[in-house]
Amino acid sequence: MFAPYLAFKTTMFFLFLDYVLFFMNLHLVSSASLPQAAAIHLLQFQNSLPESTRFLLPWNQSISHCQWPGVSCYSEEDFRVESLNLTRYGLSGIFEKSVSNLCKLPDLLILDLSGNNFTGKIPALLGNCSKLNTILLNENSFSGSIPVQLFKSRQILQIDLGYNLLTGIIPLSTNNLTKGLRDFPSSCSLSDLRIHENLFSGPLPVSLSNCRNLSVLYASSNNLGGIIPPNTFKGLQELEFLYLDRNKFEGEIPESLWGLRNLKELILADNMFNQSISEDISCFKQLTYLDLSGNNLTGHIPRSISSLGNLNHLFLYDNMITSFIPPGIGNCSSLVEIRLQHNFISGNLPSEISHNDLTGVIPSDLGKNNLPGLVKLDLTGNRLNGTIPSGMCAGNRLVVLALGNNNFNGHFPKEIMKCKSLNRLILRNNLLQGSIPDGIEKNSGISYFDIRGNLLEGRIPIRFGFWSNLSMIDLSENKLSGSIPKEFGNLHNLQVLRISSNRLTGEIPRELIHCRKLTELDLSTNNLSGQLPPGILSSFIMKSIRLQENKFKGVIPDSFTSGQSLQEMQLGSNMLEGPIPCSLSKIQHFSSVLNLSMNKLSGEIPKCLSNLDKLEILDISSNGFSGEIPSEVNNMVSLSFVNISFNLLSGKIPDSWGKILDSHPGSSLGNPRLCLLSTESTNCGKEDRKSYTRGKILAGIMAAVVLLLAFLLAAVYILLIRIQNSSSTEQSILHSQSRTEDLPEDLNFEDILRATERWSDKYVIGRGKHGTVYRTQSVRSRKTWAVKKVDLSESKISVEMRTLSLIRHRNVVRMEGYSIRNGYGYIVTDYMPGGTLHELVHQENPRMTLNWETRFRIALGIAQGLSYLHHDCVPKIIHRDIKSDNILIDSELEPKIGDFGTAKLDSDIDESSTVSEIVGTLGYIAPELYNAENAYSTRLTEKCDVYSYGVILLELLCRKLPVDPSFEEGLDIASWVRKNLQSNHSDFLSCFDEEIQCWDLEEQRKVLDLMDIAIKCTEFMADNRPSMREAVGSLISLNCERKSSVNNTGNSGL
């Protein structure tokens, strides 16, 4: 009875066992297939890449795919691929052909292919990868638009399509993603979207508000634009980082933005937003970084900004913000940096600002009770006055204090020296008086110390020699006296020592040789004496030595070696004797200036000097050199200027020097026995003259033959050229000759040719003695530029380029690029839509009314630009052709000094002791330059520019030309104004512009003060004119409130 039951149970047991074994085997087979399938998909992706880059993925089946570089699995036991990180592997190819293999990885969450060279469109298939939530394709070369599937996906949370590193000579920094942004579906799950540095255009979609989880949006540096609708940000309450800078947005900042309470960083810089900043900014309680710079914002800084306790960076510069800084800004206790420059702000400021119209004094409690975390305070280039407060470092965190180019007075602020955190102190170009205290605090933290251009006197404290961290010290242009402390030799970190233009005496301390890092030494224009210390001149690290205009005696030490780094040595205007030491020629890097002029040097010009084949400027004028110039100097192939005037040289001038001397009249004068073949000099022997004459005849015959051949070739060429199409002609122009250029990234020479229709006159915006200026445009950025075209055979474009390359100031035109090709030079600058000051003032139908604010802004801007050229540039620059035609006006009515074709650098000024040619424009030229009695004995100084500036002020006030047809014969504007003011005491406004005669009394008083400055600037005697720094000080005081103006008259310096 039990047997059948037992047999049944046995059968059922074995059936169950077979069932279990079957499923166990099935599971094992499935588990084994998982790693094999994932590896196959990855290898298929690898094989889809170009052969040239496959080897960059060292994948093979000898090990588990989870151990392959860039592949991450969920765990050691779980072979499913979780992420693929192939960033910066150098991979390339069309990604659309490869993506299907990656989407076959069913559990892939993160795909990072950033920093490669993939091209083509972004595959729509990525939106359908089952679990993919992070896509990082930044820094590639994708093109086209973003597929809408990426936005519709409910899985994808983070997309980064920004920045690329395109291949080529110059790596580009953007994708080529174009067209407008897609609409965002209601199902948008994105939390992080980065599309910066592309070429998207059109508006920001309102549907962006559907992405309610969005916390990061980077859309910087595109072509997005238009007015952002008010409700665009309404649903984005999770947004923490919003970057929309460097686009073309305009109108008011949308109201919904001010309600984003979780926002931490907001950057809207470099757009065209207008209106004012809302008081609702107080809702940004988490905000740490706010940048609204470079827009057209107006109104005042909202008072509610004081409630932003976490704010550490506030940038509102380059707007049109007015009024004053709200006093409650001191409540922003986390502030580290504030930048408000280039606005219309007035009053006092408790934080960083540069180049505004600030007046008054710095609050005495600044740093004591507010802004305890202040790290950097820069009030450079304003019109602040009074004494410098002593408590600005009460928080013991101040690192940088920059108060240069103001009107601060009083004594040197010795209390500041106790600030142990201070690293950089810049007090240049103020009115500080008295002496630097001998007991000045020892401060081992300061590395940069600049008090240039004040009124300080007395001795240099020896305590400076114990500031062990000091790397740069500039005490120039003061009234310091006594000797240079030998303790300076203790400054082992010192790199730059400048004490020029003082009243120092004694010898150069030999202890300076211990300054092992010293690369620049400027002790020029003092009363130093003794002999030149050999150890300093033979320093291996020194690059620039300026000792000119002192009383050094003896010989130049013959101790130079081949290992030196010297590039510039100026020893002019001393009492040095003896020959030029031959060891000087051993310096391989000597590439800039060698100035030995106005000494008592003698002997012949040594042949070894020719080894200085990198030297650009050589001045040995006003010495006692004799004999012939050795022909070996033809090897000095880099020379652009030579001055050998007023020596005892004889014989012929070598060819290379002859060409240079011919291009600089006066640079060979005063050598009665020198043979100048290009003139009718009687010092050339008969054979020389016959040889020269035969040469001229032969040259004439050859020229005739060449002309005949040229005529025949030209006829054939014209016939051939007509067959060619215009594109090939253009290419031949672009590539026919060697060229040198450095143009802005978004502008190439082809753009310039096309935009100007190959230099059509209809694009001309200015003509001058030194070239023609055209308006051009970049095809890529649509930015408008100005290009100056100069014939190299008639102008020394190198002068203008060299000068412009030294200049960085908001009131001076900046060179943005250049090109030299086919016998022409091209200088690229920003386009100035306001035209020239001449057009603004003298147009028959003026396009705008010149009110007091506009005229003063222009007058002050020009003065600040000139003051920068004269007092802050190293070397200083004299423009020599300041006139209203050379003052350009930008869109904000800010003046910019242009056209430096005749400018002189300080190093060039020493090359000629007197003026040898009259440069400038009639009516603007200083009288000492054209007065027949003293023109050629007059030394060129910056006071010539001061005179021209005074003429511009008179133009601005009278709206008369410098030499106006309405003037009596022999009168220019300066003499006409003086005559009118002397004869019309009762009607003192008669010579002013008619508009001014209708102004209120207070503004007319300011006009009279400005006229007073103009008259002082146009004084007949140069010594009676103010410096431009003094003129700036007077202008700043002039526009203060009447009471402040009276109180500060003594600080103007006029």
688-730 pLDDT, tens digit per residue, is 444 444 544 454 445 444 444 544 454 434 444 443 433 333 3
Cβ proximity of 217 and 193 under 8 Å: yes
Query: H-helix or E-strand containing 50?
Result: none
Average pLDDT of the chain to the nearest whole number? 79
* Domain-wise residue ranges, the chain: 346-433, 689-723, 739-831, 834-1054
521 pLDDT band (50/70/90 cuts)? Answer: very high
Cβ proximity of 1029 and 867 under 8 Å: yes
Residue 939 CA to residue 953 CA, distance in Å, equals: 25
Identify the residue with better confidence: 217 or 986.
217
Bridge partners, residue 641, by sequence: 617
289-325 pLDDT, tens digit per residue, is 999 999 989 888 898 998 898 998 899 988 888 777 7
Identify the residue with better confidence: 939 or 688.
939
* Stretch among 164-173, 360-369, 1003-1012, 1014-1023 having the lowest mean pLDDT: 164-173
Residue 992 to residues 642, 788, 1038, Cα–Cα distance (Å): 48, 35, 18
Report the Cα 947 to chain-centroid distance in Å. 29
Query: What are the helix (H) ranges across 48-96?
Result: 51-54
Cβ proximity of 99 and 126 under 8 Å: yes
Q: What is the pLDDT of residue 382?
A: 62
Superfamily of domain 834-1054: Transferase(Phosphotransferase) domain 1 (1.10.510.10)
pTM: 0.46
Q: How many residues does the chain have?
A: 1054
Tell me what percent of the residues of the chain surpass a pLDDT of 70. Answer: 78
Phi/psi at 147 (5° precision):
-65, 135
Residue 807 CA to residue 150 CA, distance in Å, equals: 49
288 pLDDT band (50/70/90 cuts)? Answer: very high
Cβ proximity of 278 and 253 under 8 Å: yes
Residue 253 CA to residue 255 CA, distance in Å, equals: 6
DSSP 980-1041: HHHH-STTTTTTS-TTGGGS-HHHHHHHHHHHHHHHHHT-SSGGGSPPHHHHHHHHHHHTS-
Identify the residue with better confidence: 1021 or 254.
254
3-state secondary structure of 288: coil
- Asked if the 346-433 domain carries CATH number 3.80.10.10, the reply is yes
Tokens 């310039």, located at residue? 752
Cβ proximity of 142 and 175 under 8 Å: yes
Q: What is the pLDDT of residue 938?
A: 54
Most confident range (mean pLDDT) of 3-7, 224-228, 848-852, 984-988 is: 224-228
Other CB atoms within a 10 A radius of the CB of residue 735 amount to 10
Query: H-helix or E-strand containing 968?
Result: none
Q: Known catalytic residue: 881?
A: yes
Task: Enter the tokens of residue 264.
Answer: 């931490």
Mean pLDDT, rounded, for 426-451: 85
DSSP 804-817: HHT---TTB--EEE
Identify the residue with better confidence: 655 or 711.
655
Q: What is the pLDDT of residue 16?
A: 53
Catalytic residue among 192, 245, 619, 881: 881
Cβ proximity of 542 and 567 under 8 Å: no
Mean pLDDT, rounded, for 643-649: 89
- Antiparallel, parallel or unpaired: β 784-791 and 771-777: antiparallel
Nearest Cα to Cα of residue 286 among 321, 339, 218, 240: 240
Nearest Cα to Cα of residue 167 among 270, 106, 92: 92
- Burial letters 114-152, b for 16+ CB under 10 A, else e: bbbbbbbebbeebbebeebbbbbbbbbbbeeebbebbbb
Peptide bond between residue 171 and the one before it cis (omega within 30 degrees of 0): no
What lies within 8 Å, CB to CB, of 807 at 6+ separation is 814, 815, 868, 869, 873, 877
Q: What is the pLDDT of residue 356?
A: 45
Residue 254 CA to residue 246 CA, distance in Å, equals: 17
Class of domain 739-831 as given by CATH: alpha beta
3-state secondary structure of 747: coil
What does the DSSP 8-state code read for residue 336? Answer: -
Burial degree of 759 (CB within 10 A; 0-12, 13-18, 19+): middle
Tokens 């020097």, located at residue? 657
992-1016 pLDDT, tens digit per residue, is 888 888 888 788 888 888 998 999 9
Task: Enter the tokens of residue 437.
Answer: 């205290």
**Interaxial angle between packed helices 852-867 and 1001-1017, expressed in degrees from 0 to 180 and rounded to the nearest 10:** 30
489-512 pLDDT, tens digit per residue, is 999 999 999 999 899 999 999 999
Burial degree of 172 (CB within 10 A; 0-12, 13-18, 19+): middle
Residue 421 to residues 320, 365, 376, 416, 470, Cα–Cα distance (Å): 35, 19, 11, 10, 14
Identify the residue with better confidence: 25 or 537.
537
SS3 content of the chain, % helix, strand, coil (to 5): 30, 20, 50
* 396 residue type, one letter: N
Q: What is the pLDDT of residue 939?
A: 64
Phi/psi at 766 (5° precision):
-175, 145
- Binding-site entries for ATP: 789
Residue 634 CA to residue 47 CA, distance in Å, equals: 62
- Binding-site entries: 789
* Sign of the alpha-carbon torsion through 846, 849, 852, 853: negative
